[in-house]
């Protein structure tokens, strides 16, 4: 098959994450869907720092779903802190550029 009719395209975010309020210990999903050619690589950042998922750490409770969404098996929340609470953005990249989603905050519901 010839690729000539298909132009490469910089990523664009077609589904943005929205704010979520989760009870601790419950699962949660932050949606993100990006399009581009070649298919963009999606990364998540929380409060400006890259989020590690099970791709980097097999024991992680966070999974990057095939479409780009971030899935939390359960929201971690301890007396020492709320490691999952914060402001998330999804960034999609390919060689032509990158696209950043809107900010979405993840909040853990009060005790």
Q: Where are the domains of the chain?
A: 9-108
pLDDT tens string 87-101? 999 999 999 999 999
Contacts of 109 by beta carbon, 8 Å cutoff, 6+ apart: 21, 22, 23, 24
Of residues 71, 72, 81, the one with CA closest to residue 32:
71
pTM above 0.85? yes
Q: What is the pLDDT of residue 3?
A: 58
pLDDT at 5 over 80: no
Architecture in CATH of 9-108: Sandwich (2.60)
Tokens read off for 12? 């664009």
pLDDT tens string 20-63? 999 989 999 999 999 999 999 999 999 999 999 998 999 999 99
Q: What is the pLDDT of residue 1?
A: 55
CA distances from 44 to 2, 10, 57 (A): 34, 18, 15
């Amino acid at each position: 098959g010839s690729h000539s009719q298909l132009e490469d395209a910089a990523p664009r975010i077609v589904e943005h994450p929205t704010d979520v309020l989760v009870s601790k210990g419950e699962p949660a999903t932050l949606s993100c869907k990006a399009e581009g050619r070649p298919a963009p690589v999606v990364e998540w950042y929380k409060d400006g720092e890259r989020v590690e998922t099970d791709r980097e750490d097999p024991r992680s409770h966070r999974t990057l779903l095939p479409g780009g969404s971030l899935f939390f098996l359960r929201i971690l929340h301890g007396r020492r802190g709320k490691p999952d609470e914060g402001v998330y953005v999804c960034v999609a990249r390919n060689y032509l550029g990158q696209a950043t989603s809107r900010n979405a905050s993840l909040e853990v519901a009060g005790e």
